[in-house]
Chains A and B, each alone.
Chain A
């Protein structure tokens, strides 16, 4: 699904952002990408989204060889992935419904399809009652769930979450990662960039650490989510935010 083969990235100003990165992420995995600021995490994501091209090596995402991808093919690559941003990137003068529908509209979905799909996705992220609210009326955690709904609405096989908990309270961070974990259980590959080590420790997913542009560790996933550790740390239970998803079925 995602493969980095001997990837180097040096920017025009001489900064070496990535050095000989070799990573293989299979379909259906949940991977945390961790590292300090300036470690190369953003470059890693930009290469995957084809915002940048590697100086050397090959990046393959969802069967697209990105170095050979033509400019006009980039939108079609991006339709196979959903992106969740740290700053939510919601349009303030649009309702929750319209923010989510926006992602479908700009990829040419019909009104009929949008009317059917958006309420379903809002239900998945526990925001079915907030469809008519505006982003300013929501909490940080809710805003990020709208961002997640928007990333999910076009049914991508890969979700890239760029520090999705960076702008929300610690207790709500758990909600978001649990939501992502639930989405992952249904087969969507999740790649989450974060520098919150406590959060990473609570969820036993695969962890790739980047330091100074190099992959310094790659720890495989463990079997259980240690929610108890999080509660011991004083966070709230996030039960109930994913009611429809808990009943099973595809996203």
Chain B
């Protein structure tokens, strides 16, 4: 393909949009709505994930060391626990620290008697898990360490949180998938109308020997431009709306909201990529169908 052809095809792509500007405007509008819903579902998912992470952080497992552990053994135990894959954070709490917590609630004489070897508490480790989905197996791993005396945890909360998270994940994915399919149909329909409007030109192109690729390229370009424009507009809107939302609820909610700065690139590139992909695929789908079923030279008008 020579330079003249490339220039011609690009010009045709933009001419298509201009000639069908009302339809193009309508489809960009609907596509923007779809992307906003997709983006909204994504942001909701990201924030729910954030809340779960915060909740995971609150769900601490306490592991008590055996009473006869020496300081060296306690250091080794700390390393062993930290070495478990799913363990995110480990905090050592000595039995003296534990006793100190209750100093105000017990008489001073009793507190004094509890010092030293009479201290009823055990040295302990506060452990936070990275993924509560692997709660049971991680607990088993901790219990298998010989220096561990016992553990205290609430597996019920862990399991409930994991179940809710999985439901949220599935619902979000389905919403995003459905909206993508809707977007694809919108673009395909727009291009179908454009193709219908230009069937005379297509029949002439076919009659003089234009290849299917040559016929298809301007329409695919049109789809991509519409998709990318919708992506950019949707990004702008979601950026504006989420920033307002963050200003109001950013810190007041449990666990806080995820700031837009940490997700802007995912949203921007995601929207542009989804827009370009739906535009290109929708156009290709419409053109393929048209060229196969009706894209002949005669009898199309």
Pairwise interchain contact A150-B211, C-beta atoms closer than 8 A: no
A72 cross-chain contacts in B, Cβ below 8 A: 211-212
Residue of A nearest to B203 (CB): A89
A78 close to B206 (CB less than 8 A): yes
Chain A, residue nearest B12 (CB): A105
Contacts of A87 on B, CB cut-off 8 Å? 301
Centre residue among A75, A77, A78, A162 by max chain B CB count within 10 A: A75
Q: Are A106 and B214 within 8 A (Cβ)?
A: yes
- Please give, as numbers and ranges, the residues of chain B lying within 8 Å of A102 by CB-CB distance: 201, 204-205
Residue ID in chain A nearest B215 by CB atoms: A106
8 A Cβ contacts from A43-91 to B: 45-46, 49, 51, 72, 75-79, 82-83, 85, 87, 89, 91
A110 and B4 within 8 A (CB): yes
B201 touches A91 (CB 8 A): yes
Q: Is A111 an interface residue (CB 8 A)?
A: yes
Chain A hits for B214, CB < 8 A? 106, 108
User: A76 and B298: CB pair below 8 A?
Assistant: no
Tell me if B253 counts as interface (CB < 8 A to partner A).
no
The proximity string for B residues 1-22 relative to A, scoring 1 for CB distances below 8 Å and 0 otherwise, is 1111101100000000000000
The reply to whether B203 and A108 form a contact with Cβ atoms under 8 Å apart is no
Does residue A154 face the partner (Cβ distance < 8 Å to B)? yes
A110 touches B210 (CB 8 A): no
Asked whether B169 is an interface residue with its Cβ less than 8 Å from the other chain, the reply is no
Which secondary structure characterizes the binding site on chain A? mixed
Main secondary structure of the interface of B (DSSP, over half): helix
Contact indicator B208/A106 (Cβ below 8 Å): yes
Evaluate whether A83 and B297 lie within 8 angstroms (CB atoms) in the complex, with A102-B204, A105-B8, A154-B208 already known.
yes
Contact surface of B with A, Cβ cutoff 8 Å = 1-5, 7-8, 200-201, 203-212, 214-215, 296-298, 301
Judge if A109 is at the interface, Cβ distance under 8 Å.
Answer: yes
Task: Find out whether the CB atom of B200 lies under 8 angstroms from the CB atom of A89.
Answer: yes
> Is B204 a contact partner of A51 (Cβ separation < 8 A)?
no
Interface size class of A (residues with CB under 8 A): 20 to 34
Inter-chain contacts of B208 with A (CB < 8 A) = 78-79, 82-83, 103, 106-107, 150, 154
Candidate in A42, A77, A91, A106 with the most chain B CB atoms within 10 angstroms: A106
CB contact under 8 A between A76 and B209, given known A83-B297, A108-B4, A108-B214:
yes
Residues B297 and A103 in contact, CB atoms below 8 Å apart = no
Given contacts A42-B298, A51-B298, A91-B201, whether A83 and B1 have CB atoms under 8 Å apart is: no
Minimum Cβ distance to chain A for residue B294 (Å) = 11
The answer for the CA separation of A72 and B208 in the assembled complex, in Å, is 14
A150-B7 Cα distance, complex, nearest whole Å: 21
Bound CA–CA A51/B212 (angstroms): 14
B211 CB contacts on chain A under 8 angstroms: 72, 75
Q: How far is the CB of B296 from chain A (nearest CB, A)?
A: 5
A85 to B296: give the CA distance in the assembly, Å.
14
Q: 13 A-B residue contacts at CB 8 Å? A: A46-B298, A77-B209, A78-B209, A83-B208, A83-B297, A102-B201, A102-B204, A103-B208, A106-B214, A107-B210, A108-B2, A154-B208, A162-B298
| B209, A51: Cβ atoms closer than 8 Å | no
| B199 CB, nearest partner CB in chain A, Å | 11
**Docked pose: A85 CA to B208 CA in angstroms:** 12
Docked CA distance A110–B207 (Å): 19
Given contacts A72-B211, A75-B211, A76-B209, contact A108 B204 (CB under 8 A): no
8 closest residue pairs by CB, A with B: A79-B209, A78-B209, A106-B210, A103-B208, A75-B209, A110-B4, A83-B207, A106-B205
Residue in chain A with minimal CB distance to B8: A105
Chain A residues lying within 8 Å of B212, measured Cβ to Cβ, are: 72, 75
With A78-B209, A91-B200, A106-B205 given, is the CB distance from A51 to B2 under 8 Å?
Answer: no
Residues of B within 8 Å of A103, CB to CB, are: 204, 208
- Verify A45–B298 contact, CB threshold 8 A: yes
Enumerate chain A residues within 8 angstroms of B203, measured Cβ to Cβ: 89
Tell me the complex Cα distance, A62–B8, Å: 29
Enumerate chain A residues within 8 angstroms of B205, measured Cβ to Cβ. 102, 106
